């Protein structure tokens, strides 16, 4: 999970950073592009963390394929300090269309 940076924590920043993620046929993250920023270095922290994630690959019939996914990484002050929806994204990827 990404760290809520000290500067962002002091500024009280909470919210979601939307990312466009290319997931390879093997399930690794190939590319990450920030679509909606939160600022205060949280965008870079979220993208860096997502680059380390692994997913269940999407399939076209029985063949694993690369897909383009949009997902959010959420930062909030709570018992877990931040929220990430990796499990939901993993399930959603299995239903995606392959990249051309």
pTM across the whole model: 0.71
Residue 99 lies in a domain: no
Q: Which position has the token pair 């063949």?
A: 63
Residue 77 has which token pair? 């002050």
Give tens-digit pLDDT for 39-81. Answer: 777 888 889 888 988 888 888 888 999 999 888 887 776 533 3
CB within 8 Å of 86: residues ≥ 6 apart: 53
CA-CA-CA-CA torsion sign (37, 3, 29, 57): negative
Task: Give me the helices (H) in 1-100, please.
Answer: 6-11, 42-50, 86-93
Q: Is residue 100 part of a domain?
A: no
Average pLDDT taken over every residue of the chain: 76
Tally the domains of the chain.
1
Answer yes or no: is 1 within a domain. Answer: no
SS3 20: strand
* Residues of the domain holding 66: 6-93
Each residue's pLDDT tens digit, 38-47? 877 788 888 9
Do the domain assignments include residue 10?
A: yes
Check which CATH number belongs to the domain holding 77 and give it.
3.30.2420
Q: Tell whether 38 is covered by a domain.
A: yes
């Amino acid at each position: 999970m990404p760290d809520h940076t000290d500067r962002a924590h002091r500024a009280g920043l909470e919210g979601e950073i939307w990312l466009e993620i290319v997931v390879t046929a093997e399930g690794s993250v190939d590319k990450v592009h920030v679509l909606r920023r939160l600022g205060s270095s949280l965008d870079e922290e979220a993208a860096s963390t997502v680059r380390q994630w692994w997913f269940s690959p999407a399939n076209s019939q029985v063949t694993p394929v690369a897909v383009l996914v949009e997902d959010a990484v959420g930062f909030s002050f709570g018992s877990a300090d931040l929220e990430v929806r990796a499990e939901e994204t993993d399930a959603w990827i299995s239903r995606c269309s392959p990249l051309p």
